[in-house]
Structure formats: structure tokens, C-alpha cells
Chain A
Amino acid sequence: MLQINGLTAGYGPVTILRDLSFQAAAGQVTCIMGRNGAGKSTLMKAIMGLVPAQSGQIALLGQPLHRLPAHKVPLQGVAYVPQGRRLFGPLTVGENIDVGLLARNGGAKTRNFVLDLFPRLRERLDQTASTLSGGEQQMLAIARALCLEPKVLLLDEPTEGLQPSMIALIRDTVLKLRETGLATVLVEQRVESVLRMADQVAFMAHGRVEAQVSVTDLRPDSTLFRQFVGV
């Protein structure tokens, strides 16, 4: 579904991603692992058009994304949950969801779908987003992204800094979404979470995907984890 070939991208003169190739399939969770500075978050931003591609191709169902301005990428069916959530903090929960619904003119059906997925948000629609707990903020960040009715969902470290019950909830949500046929690309550092959620795991180092393997080929003590994550 999402295909990246020979992607080179970076910030101004600084190149971060070098000749990177990667793919994510529909109805699968593809985890991206790698040490700090490997380029995981930059890859997410490059897919969204927030970091310009210097060369290479990014395509969704054969349609090129890399030539589109950033604001047109979500319209093609890619949604992004950034690291640190980056909610519209001063806006209410309801308004954050409304921003998500704007792009595709999503209506009550989509709104109800995301609020049914996270019922706690329904109780806090008028609450300012910045006053939510970390877990609730993560729910809102995912709900806001799902309002775009995406074909591909990019999640950058969604469980970072969350308590175990919230991590379990986010994990269950990702698995539930997989059943709807959504392609999920997930940056994750916890080996246990990866082994529970992923269908595919891509290991990154120095701006490249060095290996992309099926999760069935991995065990908690696999050398790939030691080599690319250091655990």
C-alpha cells in the first residue's frame, strides 16, 4: 500500500534519510525500530511532506506523494500522530476533533466512530486539550488522526511516557484498527510491544532501513534487536 523507494531527505543542507526503501501493507502493523538519531521520526515527517524529499519516491496505492505540498498529503489518506502528541493545546477536545474532520468534510459518522473508540474523550469534549492527562492526550491525538479516515496511519512513539494501563489501551486500539484494513506504521522502542503488535518490523540505522522482516522471524533475544536497538 505505502511504498518508499530510494528516499533521500533532510533538513536544508543536512541529509538524514539516505536512499531509504520501505513498504507497509494494508491490514498490517509495520513497526520501525532504531536507535536515537536513526531517522525514524524524519521518515514519518518525510512521508507527510513536512521534510522535503531530495530524491526518491513515496507512493500510496501507486499515487506519488513526494511531489505534493504537505497539506495535500492527508487528503490522499495518510494520517500522522506525531511524537509528543502535538495537540492543538489551547483548543478543546471537540475542536481538535473538528480540525481532524475538516480536511475530508467528515461528518457525524466519523466523529461517532472515534468517540466510540475512545469513550473517555466524549466526556471531555469541552475540556481544553492541554489539560488532559498524558494518556487522554494520546487518545485524542489518535482520534484526531482517525478523523481523516486514513488508509495509512503513522504513529510516532505513541506509548512514550504513558502508564502501563494506557500502553495496553493504545496497543489494543492499534490491533483493533488493523482489523479494519488500515495500514499502520508505528515507531516503537519497546520490544515487547513490537512483538505483540507488529506484522512486520523495519530496523533503521544511519537514515536507512537496514532490514525489514516478518515478526514471526523475531524472538525477544533476536540479534536484530541487539544490533539496531541495543536491547
Chain B
Amino acid sequence: MAAVLALTAVGLSLVFGVMRVVNVAHGEFFMLGAVLAWFVTYYLPLPPAFAWLAALIIAPLIVAGIAALADVLVLKRLHHDPEATIVATIGLLYMLQQAALTFYGPDARPVAAPFEWRIQLPWFGYSGYKLFVVLAAGLILWGVWAFMTRTKAGLVMRATQVDRDIARSFGINVDRVYAGTFAFGAALAAMAAVLIVPIQQAHYLMGHDPLLLSFIVVIIGGLGSLRGTLIAALVIGLSDGIISMFFSPTLAKIIATLLVALVLVFRPQGLFGAKA
């Protein structure tokens, strides 16, 4: 849960950090990833492992394409204005949700896990796939970190994040960077969904929880801070799981929301965010 949440939240945080866009439709990109994973695994005549692997590649690519298109057709026309894009992404949320309802339907549908393997210890057993999800999410997050810190594209994104006008003065096509960042953030959410969908099932309303938790994570960690997002995702993901299991999921959400309120009151920039 924490690992997948970290992936989703990093996508949201990247989009806000670089573009200053609060993407309310981020959860729907997660949902689209899961729904597309169902389509791919259902229609591709491949063994479950290969079909799932295909979904892990195809779903994020399609979602990234949709996100890039949304940026070019909607957000760019609003000049990426922070307030206007909130309203626009709310509209996008409903469009994507209703499109999923129309073409996919209201039912929750399972996606087969790529492998069935259980770690059997003397006192309890644990799903091998869940362990794989943690490792895969960790690997993807390391990839994101390496991309941001060690590649030219990452450098361009970080420079644009700091000052988009000056970035333009150094030949950086900011519109292209924004479209790429929006697509990248959406692809991360879709990847997270493909990883989790064999555990959760795909449903057209499944984007709400990841969106809420991602917002909680990026607010606590500090909007735009990769390190803060990862640490907050670990804390929120683990506490959500533990409190949900031993008490109730509602209590877990109440505590997380309370934590957000405390952070907003005492450290509005988040635990690891820089002051505006």
C-alpha cells in the first residue's frame, strides 16, 4: 500500500512541483491505469504473467498519451494558471470517470496476478505478489529519482520547476516540458494502478482513495519535494494499513486528515518542502 501510494503521490507531486498545477484528476489516471490493465489482460491472448507485463507497459503509455493531450488541449490554453487548472482538472476528473463508466461499466472486475506464490512461514503466510509490488514500486521510484537527478530531461524539468521564464531564456520549450511532466505524472499513477489491480480489482470509482491519500502525502511531505513525498507515503501508507486492519479504515482516514490539518497549521510548506 505504502509503496503504491508513494508512486501515485510522486506523480502528483511532480506535476505540482514543475507545473504548479494541482491535478484533481490524478486519481482518475490511476483508475484508467487499472481499467486499461483489465482490458489488456482480458483481450490479449497471453498467459497471465505476460498479459500483466504487457499491461504494465501499455496502460501507462495510453494514460500518458491521454494526459499529454489533456495538457495541450486544456491546461495550456489556460496558461497553466493554478486556479483555473483546478477547475479544469475537476472537469477532466468527471469526463474520465464517465468515460470509464460508459466503456467499461459499473462492475468491479478482477485482474489476474502475474504469478501465484505465497511465502509460507511457520507462524503465518504472506502473498509473494504483494512483496513483488513493494520491490517493483521501489525500483520504479529509484528510476524516477535517477531520471530526475542524472538525466538531461530531469535537469530540464528541475530548471523549469525553479523558474519557467528563465528556463525559456535558455532554450527550454516549457510547453513541451509541461506536457511531458503531466504525462509522466499520469503514467506513474497508471503504473501504480497496474501493480495494485491484481489485489484490488478495477472499478470506475477507484480513483477517489488514491487521490485523497496522495494529496495527504504531498501536503505532509511538502508539495514538489520528492524526498518528502516518499517519506510521507511510507508513514501514511503503513499507518493507513495498520489502523485499517486493527481498528477501522474510517479511523485511519480521520487520523491522516488530522495530520494534514496539523501540518497545514504548524508547517504549511510540509515537512520537507521549501518556504514559498
- Asked if A118 is at the interface of the complex by the 8 Å CB criterion, the answer is no
B152 touches A74 (CB 8 A): no
Q: Which of A75, A88, A95: most chain B Cβ within 10 A?
A: A88
Which of the segments A96-104, A119-127, A168-176, A193-201 contacts the partner chain? A96-104
Q: Given A102-B152, A102-B156 in contact, is the A90-B162 Cβ separation under 8 Å?
A: yes
Distance of A65 from chain B, by nearest CB (Å): 13
Q: Collect the chain A residues with CB atoms within 8 Å of residue B174's CB.
A: 71
Q: Given A82-B166, A88-B163, A88-B166 in contact, is the A102-B158 Cβ separation under 8 Å?
A: no
Q: Collect the chain A residues with CB atoms within 8 Å of residue B263's CB.
A: none
Q: Please pick, from B159, B165, B173, B274, the residue contacting A99 in the complex, using a CB distance under 8 A.
A: B159
- Asked if B144 is at the interface of the complex by the 8 Å CB criterion, the answer is no
- Asked if A70 is at the interface of the complex by the 8 Å CB criterion, the answer is yes
Tell me which residues from 174 to 231 in chain A have a Cβ below 8 Å from any Cβ of chain B: none
B171 touches A104 (CB 8 A): yes
B166 touches A71 (CB 8 A): no
Instruction: Determine chain B's interface SS by DSSP, over half rule.
Output: helix
Distance of B272 from chain A, by nearest CB (Å): 12
- Asked if B170 is at the interface of the complex by the 8 Å CB criterion, the answer is yes
Q: Which of B158, B167, B169, B173: most chain A Cβ within 10 A?
A: B169
- Asked if A161 is at the interface of the complex by the 8 Å CB criterion, the answer is no
B169 touches A99 (CB 8 A): no
Select from chain B the residue with minimum beta-carbon distance to A86.
B166
Distance of B127 from chain A, by nearest CB (Å): 40
Q: Please pick, from B152, B162, B165, B173, the residue contacting A91 in the complex, using a CB distance under 8 A.
A: B162
Q: Collect the chain A residues with CB atoms within 8 Å of residue B163's CB.
A: 86, 88
Q: Collect the chain B residues with CB atoms within 8 Å of residue A89's CB.
A: 162
Docked Cα-Cα span, A194 to B227, in Å, equals 47
Docked Cα-Cα span, A145 to B159, in Å, equals 14
Select from chain A the residue with minimum beta-carbon distance to B162.
A88
Distance of A51 from chain B, by nearest CB (Å): 10
A102 touches B171 (CB 8 A): yes
B155 touches A102 (CB 8 A): yes
**0/1 per residue, B239-276, Cβ < 8 Å to A?**
00000000000000000000000000000000000100
Q: Collect the chain A residues with CB atoms within 8 Å of residue B155's CB.
A: 91, 95, 98-99, 102
A71 touches B168 (CB 8 A): yes
Tell me which residues from 138 to 175 in chain A have a Cβ below 8 Å from any Cβ of chain B: 144, 148
B159 touches A71 (CB 8 A): no
Select from chain A the residue with minimum beta-carbon distance to B172.
A71
Tell me which residues from 1 to 57 in chain A have a Cβ below 8 Å from any Cβ of chain B: 48-50
Report the contact-size class of chain B (Cβ under 8 Å from the partner): 10 to 19
**0/1 per residue, A69-96, Cβ < 8 Å to B?**
1111111000110100010111100010
Docked Cα-Cα span, A73 to B168, in Å, equals 9
Q: Collect the chain A residues with CB atoms within 8 Å of residue B171's CB.
A: 71-72, 74-75, 102-104, 148
Docked Cα-Cα span, A104 to B171, in Å, equals 8
Distance of A94 from chain B, by nearest CB (Å): 10
Docked Cα-Cα span, A73 to B156, in Å, equals 17
**0/1 per residue, B163-192, Cβ < 8 Å to A?**
101111111111000000000000000000
B168 touches A50 (CB 8 A): yes
Docked Cα-Cα span, A83 to B158, in Å, equals 21
Distance of A68 from chain B, by nearest CB (Å): 11
Select from chain A the residue with minimum beta-carbon distance to B163.
A86
B169 touches A90 (CB 8 A): no
Docked Cα-Cα span, A70 to B171, in Å, equals 8
Docked Cα-Cα span, A74 to B173, in Å, equals 11
Select from chain B the residue with minimum beta-carbon distance to A81.
B169
Tell me which residues from 139 to 161 in chain B have a Cβ below 8 Å from any Cβ of chain A: 152, 155-156, 158-159
For the complex with contacts A71-B174, A72-B171, A91-B162, 11 further pairs of A-B residues with Cβ separation under 8 Å are: A48-B168, A50-B168, A50-B169, A70-B165, A70-B168, A82-B166, A88-B166, A90-B162, A90-B274, A98-B152, A102-B172
Q: Can you report 13 A-B residue pairs in the complex whose CB atoms are below 8 A from each other?
A: A69-B173, A73-B169, A75-B171, A79-B169, A91-B158, A95-B159, A98-B155, A99-B167, A102-B152, A102-B155, A102-B170, A103-B172, A104-B171
The chain B residues found within 8 Å of chain A, CB to CB, are 152, 155-156, 158-159, 162-163, 165-174, 274
The chain A residues found within 8 Å of chain B, CB to CB, are 48-50, 69-75, 79-80, 82, 86, 88-91, 95, 98-100, 102-104, 144, 148
